Amino acid sequence: MSITKTTEIIKKKAVDLGFSSCGISKTRFLKEEEKKFEDWLNNGYQGSMNYLNKNFDKRLDPRKLVHGSKSIISLTYNYYPPKKLVKKNNFIISKYAYGKDYHKIIKKKLKQLFLFMKENIGDIEGRVFVDSAPVHERAWAKLSGLGWIGKNSLLINKKMGSYFFIAEIICDLDLKYDSPVLDMCGKCTRCIDACPTDAITESQVINAKKCISYLTIENKKSIPKELQKNMNGYIFGCDICQDVCPWNRFSKPHKEEKFLPNQEIKKYRKKDWVELTEETFNVIFKGSAVKRTKYSGLKRNIETYLD
């Protein structure tokens, strides 16, 4: 089978499995990302996410992560909700956390795609990844032509905005490689202007220690007083820089039933969140990304608005 034909059947199967887009790039050392990432770490912008200091070489060179690899198949999976949860007089959770944890859902589909490749192409070595290893996923998705990096550091696609997850298959196949697309943010600074905690320090550079998403999830300490007043009702994650992005007017509702919120969450208002018990938390958020912050973390986030 030719490289072109092999690439075509992989991309077609990816769409059949529900992925929104699929692009491919050749594995190499990401020299252009080295200094940017090093400077970001040296500035301490990673906060308490110490795992980002590890495996620096693997993050920049996937051949050290998957030996013998030749190609990175980057995929996106839409999570833009058909209907948003009530914001008025309510606390807010990020759209990506409405339903079940995306890691398991997407990883299952990745494994299906990889099995299909093995059955239809031949003996292939590789690994699948969903935000779970030192893979510079946005950089590879950009090189694969799936979008450009916006000023808020997220991947933006001109046909679907930025409300999607990114995943990869890194394998030892030679494939037909895609090319990057133009950066189409232009002079727009809406995401920078809208960030209530000034977490976007400059174009594509985020100070996680000020980011509401980091403060409500990864951060295990108390939230700094000077930032609490600007959290805009969020208790898990944040969508502000995406909500204001003009390209997200092209976002289309996802078709993944498992990403839909359960009936309990849809009914929740401020009073319910405040009265949330650990027992109820464990029931409502079973299999949810919200479990990442744990009950204690979610209660801390809620209580920042009650001080």
Q: Are strands 234-236 and 92-93 parallel, antiparallel or unpaired?
A: parallel
Beta bridge partners of 126: 171
Cα 120–Cα 139–Cα 121 angle in degrees, nearest 5: 5
Q: Tell me how far apart the alpha carbons of residues 15 and 8 are, in angstroms, rounded to a whole number.
A: 11
Instruction: List all residues 6 or more positions away from 235 whose beta carbon is below 8 Å from its beta carbon.
Output: 91, 92, 93, 216, 273, 298, 301, 302, 305
Report yes or no: 141 and 155 within 8 Å, Cβ to Cβ. Answer: yes
- Give Rg (Cα) of the chain: 20
Question: Half-sphere exposure (CA, 13 Å, Cβ side) for 44?
Answer: 2
Q: Sign of torsion, CA 30 35 39 41?
A: positive
Which one is catalytic: 61, 131, 183, 243? Answer: 131
Report yes or no: 137 and 74 within 8 Å, Cβ to Cβ. Answer: yes
Beta bridge partners of 168: 74, 129
Burial 234-246 (b: 16+ CB within 10 A, else e): bbbbbbbbbebbe
What is the number of other CB atoms lying within 10 angstroms of the CB of residue 213?
20
Q: Would you call 131 a catalytic residue per the annotation? A: yes
Task: Give catalytic residue positions.
Answer: 131
